[in-house]
């Protein structure tokens, strides 16, 4: 089973920041938080990952709480092309390190 909980859907106005929450209250010390998104009829696309520090790349920012029990993916200026299902995954990098997907958050960016 997935170790994360995400809201099933969210709306965001075009040009505004989209903040997608993820709860991972049982995360272990060696588990990273990964975010992927899946646009209709395509395979999932990697966005960003982090362990405990906040991370930023050209696509998004990842904010992880100090206790690491939750995180937020931020798309700073959402566009219509960001409409997709967003998956939050926790994954260890040693031992059994499966990527287990949940049902994700369906983000709809509104014009």
Partner 1 sequence: EAGVAQSPRYKIIEKRQSVAFWCNPISGHATLYWYQQILGQGPKLLIQFQNNGVVDDSQLPKDRFSAERLKGVDSTLKIQPAKLEDSAVYLCASSLREGNSPLHFGNGTRLTVT
Q: Name the residues that contact partner 1, by CB under 8 A.
A: 2, 32, 34, 36, 41-46, 49, 87, 91, 93-94, 96-104
Shortest approach of partner 1 to residue 85 CB, angstroms?
8
Shortest approach of partner 1 to residue 101 CB, angstroms?
3
The residue assigned the tokens 């409409």 is 83
Shortest approach of partner 1 to residue 34 CB, angstroms?
7
From CA 52, how far away is CA 32, in angstroms rounded?
8
CA distances for 48 relative to 74, 82, 110, angstroms:
11, 15, 23
């Amino acid at each position: 089973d997935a170790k994360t909980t995400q809201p099933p859907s969210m709306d965001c106005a075009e040009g505004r920041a989209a903040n997608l929450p993820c709860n991972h209250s049982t995360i272990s010390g060696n588990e990273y938080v990964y975010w992927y998104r899946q646009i209709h009829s395509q395979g999932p696309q990697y966005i960003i990952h982090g362990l405990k520090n906040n991370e930023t790349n050209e696509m998004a920012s990842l904010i992880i709480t100090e206790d690491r029990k939750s995180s937020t993916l931020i798309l700073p200026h959402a566009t219509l092309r960001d409409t997709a299902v967003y998956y939050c995954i926790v994954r260890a990098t040693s031992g059994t390190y499966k990527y287990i997907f949940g049902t994700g958050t369906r983000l709809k960016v509104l014009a």
